[in-house]
Amino acid sequence: MKKLIKAEEIVKVFDQGGESQTVLSHASLDIGEGEFVAVMGPSGSGKSTLLFVLSGMDPADSGTITFDGADLSNMSEDELADLRRTKIGFVFQQPTLLKNLNIIDNILLPSLRDNRKEAKWIKKRAEELMEQMGIGELADREINQVSGGQLQRAGICRALMSGPKIILADEPTGALNSKTAQDIMELFSGINREGTALLLVTHDPRVAARAERVLFMSDGRIVSELKFLARGREALEKNLIKVMEKMNELGI
Protein backbone atom coordinates (compact mmCIF):
# COMPACT_ATOMS: atom_id res chain seq x y z
CA MET A 1 0.00 0.00 0.00
CA LYS A 2 1.38 3.43 -0.96
CA LYS A 3 2.00 5.69 2.04
CA LEU A 4 -0.10 8.82 2.34
CA ILE A 5 1.42 10.00 5.63
CA LYS A 6 4.77 9.00 7.06
CA ALA A 7 5.66 10.49 10.42
CA GLU A 8 8.99 9.72 12.04
CA GLU A 9 10.11 10.53 15.56
CA ILE A 10 7.72 13.46 16.00
CA VAL A 11 8.36 15.61 19.04
CA LYS A 12 6.00 18.38 20.13
CA VAL A 13 6.63 20.44 23.23
CA PHE A 14 4.13 22.96 24.63
CA ASP A 15 5.02 25.75 26.97
CA GLN A 16 2.58 25.76 29.86
CA GLY A 17 3.07 28.77 32.08
CA GLY A 18 6.84 28.73 31.74
CA GLU A 19 7.13 24.95 32.07
CA SER A 20 7.62 22.82 28.99
CA GLN A 21 5.52 19.73 28.49
CA THR A 22 6.50 17.12 25.91
CA VAL A 23 3.17 16.12 24.39
CA LEU A 24 4.48 14.08 21.45
CA SER A 25 7.57 12.12 22.32
CA HIS A 26 9.21 10.49 19.28
CA ALA A 27 5.89 9.35 17.84
CA SER A 28 6.21 7.44 14.56
CA LEU A 29 3.42 6.16 12.33
CA ASP A 30 2.43 5.52 8.72
CA ILE A 31 -0.98 5.85 7.12
CA GLY A 32 -1.52 4.15 3.76
CA GLU A 33 -3.57 5.66 0.95
CA GLY A 34 -7.20 4.79 1.56
CA GLU A 35 -6.46 3.21 4.93
CA PHE A 36 -8.76 3.48 7.98
CA VAL A 37 -6.78 3.90 11.19
CA ALA A 38 -8.17 4.60 14.66
CA VAL A 39 -6.17 6.19 17.48
CA MET A 40 -6.96 5.43 21.11
CA GLY A 41 -5.27 6.35 24.36
CA PRO A 42 -5.85 7.96 27.73
CA SER A 43 -6.93 11.58 28.02
CA GLY A 44 -3.90 13.82 27.56
CA SER A 45 -1.82 11.20 25.73
CA GLY A 46 -1.46 13.50 22.71
CA LYS A 47 -4.08 12.19 20.27
CA SER A 48 -5.54 15.55 19.21
CA THR A 49 -2.09 17.11 19.07
CA LEU A 50 -1.01 14.31 16.74
CA LEU A 51 -3.83 15.17 14.29
CA PHE A 52 -2.91 18.87 14.36
CA VAL A 53 0.78 18.18 13.79
CA LEU A 54 0.17 15.68 10.97
CA SER A 55 -1.96 18.27 9.14
CA GLY A 56 0.74 20.93 9.47
CA MET A 57 -1.65 23.09 11.51
CA ASP A 58 0.82 22.99 14.38
CA PRO A 59 4.52 22.52 13.50
CA ALA A 60 6.46 19.63 15.04
CA ASP A 61 9.52 20.62 17.06
CA SER A 62 11.51 17.77 15.56
CA GLY A 63 11.01 14.68 13.42
CA THR A 64 9.80 14.46 9.84
CA ILE A 65 6.32 14.30 8.35
CA THR A 66 5.81 13.39 4.73
CA PHE A 67 2.30 13.96 3.38
CA ASP A 68 1.55 12.58 -0.08
CA GLY A 69 5.27 12.64 -0.89
CA ALA A 70 5.94 16.19 0.34
CA ASP A 71 7.99 17.01 3.46
CA LEU A 72 5.86 19.38 5.58
CA SER A 73 8.94 21.12 6.98
CA ASN A 74 9.83 22.35 3.47
CA MET A 75 6.42 23.93 2.89
CA SER A 76 5.46 27.58 3.37
CA GLU A 77 2.39 28.59 5.42
CA ASP A 78 0.49 29.16 2.16
CA GLU A 79 1.46 25.74 0.82
CA LEU A 80 0.41 24.11 4.10
CA ALA A 81 -2.94 25.92 4.02
CA ASP A 82 -3.41 24.79 0.43
CA LEU A 83 -2.60 21.19 1.36
CA ARG A 84 -5.19 21.29 4.16
CA ARG A 85 -7.79 22.88 1.88
CA THR A 86 -7.37 20.37 -0.94
CA LYS A 87 -6.20 17.10 0.59
CA ILE A 88 -7.48 16.98 4.17
CA GLY A 89 -10.97 17.08 5.62
CA PHE A 90 -11.43 17.76 9.34
CA VAL A 91 -14.29 16.47 11.45
CA PHE A 92 -14.55 17.41 15.13
CA GLN A 93 -16.72 16.28 18.02
CA GLN A 94 -18.88 19.39 17.63
CA PRO A 95 -18.98 20.70 14.07
CA THR A 96 -18.06 24.38 14.11
CA LEU A 97 -20.97 25.68 12.05
CA LEU A 98 -22.06 29.31 11.90
CA LYS A 99 -25.37 30.12 13.60
CA ASN A 100 -26.48 32.76 11.10
CA LEU A 101 -26.14 30.48 8.05
CA ASN A 102 -28.36 27.61 6.96
CA ILE A 103 -26.99 24.06 6.62
CA ILE A 104 -26.05 24.14 2.94
CA ASP A 105 -24.33 27.53 3.18
CA ASN A 106 -22.32 26.24 6.13
CA ILE A 107 -21.25 23.26 4.03
CA LEU A 108 -20.19 25.26 1.00
CA LEU A 109 -18.75 28.39 2.61
CA PRO A 110 -15.13 27.16 2.92
CA SER A 111 -15.17 26.02 -0.74
CA LEU A 112 -16.44 29.42 -1.96
CA ARG A 113 -13.19 30.90 -0.68
CA ASP A 114 -11.36 28.69 -3.21
CA ASN A 115 -11.65 30.73 -6.38
CA ARG A 116 -10.50 27.79 -8.55
CA LYS A 117 -14.02 26.36 -8.41
CA GLU A 118 -17.24 27.78 -9.84
CA ALA A 119 -20.08 28.60 -7.43
CA LYS A 120 -22.49 26.46 -9.47
CA TRP A 121 -20.23 23.42 -9.25
CA ILE A 122 -19.76 23.97 -5.52
CA LYS A 123 -23.53 24.11 -4.88
CA LYS A 124 -24.11 20.94 -6.90
CA ARG A 125 -21.36 19.11 -5.02
CA ALA A 126 -22.83 20.20 -1.65
CA GLU A 127 -26.30 19.00 -2.70
CA GLU A 128 -24.94 15.64 -3.85
CA LEU A 129 -23.01 15.13 -0.63
CA MET A 130 -26.03 16.10 1.50
CA GLU A 131 -28.09 13.55 -0.39
CA GLN A 132 -25.43 10.85 0.15
CA MET A 133 -25.19 11.66 3.86
CA GLY A 134 -28.96 11.50 4.30
CA ILE A 135 -29.60 15.21 4.91
CA GLY A 136 -30.73 16.22 1.41
CA GLU A 137 -33.96 17.66 2.85
CA LEU A 138 -32.24 19.91 5.36
CA ALA A 139 -30.45 22.38 3.09
CA ASP A 140 -32.44 25.43 4.21
CA ARG A 141 -32.68 24.59 7.90
CA GLU A 142 -30.98 26.76 10.48
CA ILE A 143 -28.33 24.87 12.41
CA ASN A 144 -30.39 25.01 15.62
CA GLN A 145 -33.27 23.28 13.82
CA VAL A 146 -31.48 19.94 13.33
CA SER A 147 -30.32 17.13 15.63
CA GLY A 148 -26.74 16.50 16.77
CA GLY A 149 -26.45 13.58 14.37
CA GLN A 150 -27.72 15.68 11.44
CA LEU A 151 -25.28 18.42 12.39
CA GLN A 152 -22.43 15.93 12.33
CA ARG A 153 -23.58 14.72 8.90
CA ALA A 154 -23.34 18.35 7.76
CA GLY A 155 -19.84 18.56 9.27
CA ILE A 156 -18.86 15.45 7.30
CA CYS A 157 -20.29 16.93 4.06
CA ARG A 158 -18.21 20.06 4.62
CA ALA A 159 -15.08 17.95 5.19
CA LEU A 160 -15.70 16.05 1.94
CA MET A 161 -16.30 19.09 -0.28
CA SER A 162 -12.76 19.24 -1.67
CA GLY A 163 -12.57 15.48 -2.31
CA PRO A 164 -9.80 15.06 0.30
CA LYS A 165 -7.34 12.16 0.40
CA ILE A 166 -7.88 11.78 4.14
CA ILE A 167 -10.34 12.73 6.83
CA LEU A 168 -8.82 13.56 10.21
CA ALA A 169 -11.58 13.06 12.74
CA ASP A 170 -11.29 13.94 16.43
CA GLU A 171 -13.93 12.15 18.52
CA PRO A 172 -16.54 12.51 15.77
CA THR A 173 -19.08 10.42 17.68
CA GLY A 174 -18.20 11.70 21.16
CA ALA A 175 -21.28 13.91 21.49
CA LEU A 176 -23.79 11.44 19.99
CA ASN A 177 -25.96 8.70 21.45
CA SER A 178 -24.88 5.17 20.60
CA LYS A 179 -27.44 4.57 17.80
CA THR A 180 -26.56 7.86 16.09
CA ALA A 181 -22.86 7.15 16.62
CA GLN A 182 -23.24 3.81 14.82
CA ASP A 183 -25.09 5.55 11.94
CA ILE A 184 -22.28 8.07 11.62
CA MET A 185 -19.73 5.25 11.65
CA GLU A 186 -21.64 3.53 8.82
CA LEU A 187 -21.18 6.75 6.84
CA PHE A 188 -17.46 6.89 7.62
CA SER A 189 -17.06 3.25 6.62
CA GLY A 190 -18.80 4.03 3.30
CA ILE A 191 -16.57 7.07 2.70
CA ASN A 192 -13.54 4.88 3.38
CA ARG A 193 -14.76 2.12 1.02
CA GLU A 194 -14.89 4.75 -1.71
CA GLY A 195 -11.16 5.39 -1.21
CA THR A 196 -10.77 8.20 1.33
CA ALA A 197 -8.31 7.42 4.12
CA LEU A 198 -9.49 7.99 7.70
CA LEU A 199 -7.48 8.78 10.80
CA LEU A 200 -9.97 8.81 13.62
CA VAL A 201 -9.36 9.56 17.31
CA THR A 202 -11.83 7.84 19.61
CA HIS A 203 -12.41 6.69 23.17
CA ASP A 204 -15.12 4.29 21.97
CA PRO A 205 -13.98 0.70 21.32
CA ARG A 206 -17.01 0.12 19.05
CA VAL A 207 -15.79 2.90 16.80
CA ALA A 208 -12.19 1.67 16.80
CA ALA A 209 -13.34 -1.89 15.99
CA ARG A 210 -14.40 -0.69 12.52
CA ALA A 211 -10.88 0.40 11.55
CA GLU A 212 -8.24 -1.62 9.71
CA ARG A 213 -5.68 -0.76 12.37
CA VAL A 214 -5.87 0.72 15.84
CA LEU A 215 -2.90 2.68 17.22
CA PHE A 216 -2.67 3.03 20.99
CA MET A 217 -0.99 6.13 22.37
CA SER A 218 0.50 6.70 25.77
CA ASP A 219 2.63 9.63 26.93
CA GLY A 220 2.97 11.04 23.44
CA ARG A 221 3.98 7.96 21.52
CA ILE A 222 2.44 4.95 19.82
CA VAL A 223 2.95 2.10 22.25
CA SER A 224 0.90 -0.65 20.65
CA GLU A 225 -1.06 -1.49 17.52
CA LEU A 226 -3.81 -3.87 16.46
CA LYS A 227 -4.33 -4.92 12.86
CA PHE A 228 -7.59 -6.57 11.91
CA LEU A 229 -7.35 -9.28 9.27
CA ALA A 230 -11.11 -9.67 8.92
CA ARG A 231 -13.45 -6.68 8.72
CA GLY A 232 -17.10 -6.02 8.00
CA ARG A 233 -20.18 -6.76 10.05
CA GLU A 234 -19.31 -10.41 10.83
CA ALA A 235 -15.89 -9.49 12.24
CA LEU A 236 -17.06 -6.47 14.23
CA GLU A 237 -17.76 -8.27 17.51
CA LYS A 238 -14.46 -10.20 17.39
CA ASN A 239 -12.52 -7.01 16.64
CA LEU A 240 -14.35 -5.22 19.44
CA ILE A 241 -13.22 -7.89 21.91
CA LYS A 242 -9.62 -7.50 20.70
CA VAL A 243 -9.82 -3.70 21.20
CA MET A 244 -11.27 -4.12 24.69
CA GLU A 245 -8.61 -6.70 25.62
CA LYS A 246 -5.89 -4.32 24.45
CA MET A 247 -7.44 -1.39 26.36
CA ASN A 248 -7.49 -3.58 29.45
CA GLU A 249 -3.88 -4.66 28.95
CA LEU A 250 -2.77 -1.03 28.56
CA GLY A 251 -4.98 0.26 31.39
CA ILE A 252 -6.96 2.66 29.19
Ligand X SMILES: Nc1ncnc2c1ncn2[C@@H]1O[C@H](COP(=O)(O)OP(=O)(O)OP(=O)(O)O)[C@@H](O)[C@H]1O
Q: Contact positions toward ligand X, by CB under 6 A? A: 14, 16, 23, 41, 43-49
Q: Please identify, using beta-carbon distances, which residue of 49 and 152 lies nearer to ligand X.
A: 49
Residue 39 CB, nearest distance to ligand X (Å)?
9
Residue 43 CB, nearest distance to ligand X (Å)?
3
Residue 221 CB, nearest distance to ligand X (Å)?
12
Q: Please identify, using beta-carbon distances, which residue of 44 and 59 lies nearer to ligand X.
A: 44
Q: Please identify, using beta-carbon distances, which residue of 5 and 217 lies nearer to ligand X.
A: 217
3-state secondary structure the chain: CCEEEEEEEEEEEEEECCEEEEEEEEEEEEEECCCEEEEECCCCCCHHHHHHHHCCCCCCCEEEEEECCEEHHHCCHHHHHHHHHHHEEEECCCCCCCCCCEHHHHHHHHHHCCCCCCHHHHHHHHHHHHHHCCCHHHCCCEHHHCCHHHHHHHHHHHHHCCCCCEEEEECCCCCCCHHHHHHHHHHHHHHHHCCCEEEEECCCHHHHCCCCEEEEEECCEEEEEEECCCCCHHHHHHHHHHHHHHHHHHCC
Residue 21 CB, nearest distance to ligand X (Å)?
6
Q: Please identify, using beta-carbon distances, which residue of 45 and 150 lies nearer to ligand X.
A: 45
